Amino acid sequence: MTALVAEHHVGLCGDRTRASPTPRLSRRDSRMAIIELTTEVAAPIERVFDLARSIDLHMASTSKTGERAIAGVTSCLIGAGETVTWRARHFGVWQTLTVRIEAFARPTHFSDVMLRGAFKHMVHHHHFSSSSRGTTMRDALEFQAPLGVLGRMVDALVLKSYMRSFLIERNRVIKATAETEAWRHYL
């Protein structure tokens, strides 16, 4: 049975309420690269959750790749069932990636799934839980490069390390923003 989740947010970006199905997202198999990170943030769970889905903060955290939202939700907060298309320079090549928010349960979890892009498959799970220090933010990024065996070699040799560094920087910016008054600029 598919569950319905609802979001309600009032803030600088307006008032939106949406409901969407939360389907099974994972297609884990032995060919899938998986990156798991845990980041402790000294801030309330709702703030950390909303900063993690802020299009504007994402662009600030990825300035090294020139990442920009070019279609779909291009500013403010992305929510259930919504899409965003990113354009960024990775490995010296301009690429686009379109994702949709497939699962959404504020403030504990959301997942984005690649609809179009360079990967054969990509799903990014974002989990949040309250902790004695504020919020524990857990990422689980599953991806698979195209090109079969050659793609798995690229995953193992280059891509997994690159994607891990990319996520660590993104989480560093979320943490620094959430733990200071800078969060007010995004929410």
11 located within any domain? no
Does the structure show a pLDDT above 70 at 10?
A: no
What local confidence, expressed as pLDDT, does residue 33 receive? Answer: 83
111 lies in some domain: yes
Q: Tally Cβ neighbours within 10 Å of residue 38.
A: 10
- Coil, strand, or helix at residue 94? strand
| Residue 23 domain-assigned (yes or no) | no
| pLDDT: which is higher, 6 or 72 | 72
| Average pLDDT for 35-54 | 98
CATH of the domain at 69: 3.30.530.20
Q: Is residue 139 part of a domain?
A: yes
Instruction: Look at residue 13 in the predicted model and tell me its pLDDT.
Output: 65
Q: What is the pLDDT of residues 105-163, one digit of tens each?
A: 999 999 999 999 988 899 999 999 999 999 999 999 998 887 766 656 666 668 888 99
If one counts the domains in the chain, the total is: 1
Q: Enter the DSSP assignment of 145.
A: -
- To the nearest whole percent, how much of the chain has pLDDT over 90? 67
Across 68-120, where does the E strand assignment appear?
A: 68-72, 83-90, 93-105, 109-116
**With contact defined as beta carbons under 8 Å apart, do 111 and 126 qualify?**
yes
Give which of 144, 132, 127, 147 is closest to 32, Cα–Cα. 144
Domain limits for position 177 = 29-185
Sheet holding 93-105, edge to edge: 33-41, 134-144, 121-131, 109-116, 93-105, 83-90, 68-72
Q: From residue 38, give the alpha-carbon distance in Å to each of 4, 75, 138, 174, 175.
A: 27, 26, 4, 13, 11
Q: Assess if residue 55 is contained within a domain.
A: yes
Contact in structure between 111 and 124 (CB atoms under 8 Å): yes
Instruction: Return the pLDDT at 164.
Output: 94
Residue 120 in domain = yes
Tokens 């939106």 belong to 16
Per-residue pLDDT of 60-81, as tens digits, reads 999 989 999 999 999 999 999 9
In a domain, 10, yes or no: no
